[in-house]
């Protein structure tokens, strides 16, 4: 068989494959999509680590970072600038945390990014309950300067309103970060689908079959 004849057969085979619907990517998404527990937990831990780091950096720049106002028994009244700094810190931290969750999960980035924030809320509530039950020495959130939305001292009108604003900002940032993180995988899936529909992937370059 000469080379020209073989090339024609290869091209015909590629053209034949191109006429078939590309269902593999959809099947993989159905199988591996949904909420990825390890990915969302990694996203939460990433966000919490950044929250501590950025809180220190932004606090050094503006004087202090606050996540709530109107907290009883607080030695310092939180200023508007501190609250704005706190919201910015939450948004940046959970934007990256949601992105990390989506990159690990691959599919359903918005849901996985959002869940990074949900796990944070559940963790904060659990640790606040533990501190209320066993005493202030178990107040982990206060010791590392994280939001104390569920502490007993925060049960005031100002504390509740500012907590709701912070939680809403955190969840929205996680969702947007998840969408951002999933875009990488969607571009990769699009490249794979385009290759299957008529391209030949060879040595890192996509060459169209002729």
* pLDDT digits 0-9 by tens, 117-156: 999 999 988 888 887 787 777 777 777 778 878 776 666 7
159 within domain boundaries: yes
Rounded Cα distance, 100 and 46, in Å:
7
pLDDT number for residue 119: 96
Instruction: Flag whether pLDDT at 49 surpasses 60.
Output: yes
**Prediction pTM value:** 0.72
Q: Do 43 and 174 touch, CB atoms closer than 8 A? A: yes
21 within domain boundaries: no
15 within domain boundaries: no
Instruction: Flag whether pLDDT at 18 surpasses 60.
Output: no
203 within domain boundaries: no
90 within domain boundaries: yes
Residue 53 is part of which domain span? 28-70+82-198
6 within domain boundaries: no
181 within domain boundaries: yes
48 within domain boundaries: yes
Number of domains in the chain: 1
Q: Do 111 and 192 touch, CB atoms closer than 8 A? A: no
């Amino acid at each position: 068989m000469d080379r020209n004849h073989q090339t024609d057969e290869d091209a015909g085979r590629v053209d034949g494959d191109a006429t078939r619907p590309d269902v593999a990517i959809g099947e993989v998404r159905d199988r591996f999509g949904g909420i990825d527990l390890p990915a969302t937990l990694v996203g939460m831990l990433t966000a919490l680590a950044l929250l501590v780091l950025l809180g220190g950096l932004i606090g050094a720049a503006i004087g202090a970072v606050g996540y709530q106002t109107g907290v009883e028994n607080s030695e310092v009244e939180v200023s508007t600038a501190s609250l704005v700094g706190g919201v910015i810190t939450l948004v940046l931290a959970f934007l990256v945390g949601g992105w990390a969750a989506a990159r690990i999960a691959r599919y359903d980035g918005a849901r996985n990014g959002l869940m990074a924030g949900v796990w944070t809320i559940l963790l904060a509530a659990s640790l606040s309950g533990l501190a209320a039950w066993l005493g202030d020495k178990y107040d982990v959130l206060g010791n590392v300067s994280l939001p104390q939305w569920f502490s007993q001292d925060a049960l005031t009108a100002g504390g509740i309103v500012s907590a709701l604003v912070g939680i809403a900002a955190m969840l929205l940032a996680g969702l947007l970060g998840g969408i951002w993180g999933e875009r990488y995988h969607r571009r990769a899936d699009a490249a794979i689908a385009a290759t299957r529909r008529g391209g030949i992937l060879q040595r890192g370059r996509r060459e169209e079959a002729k």
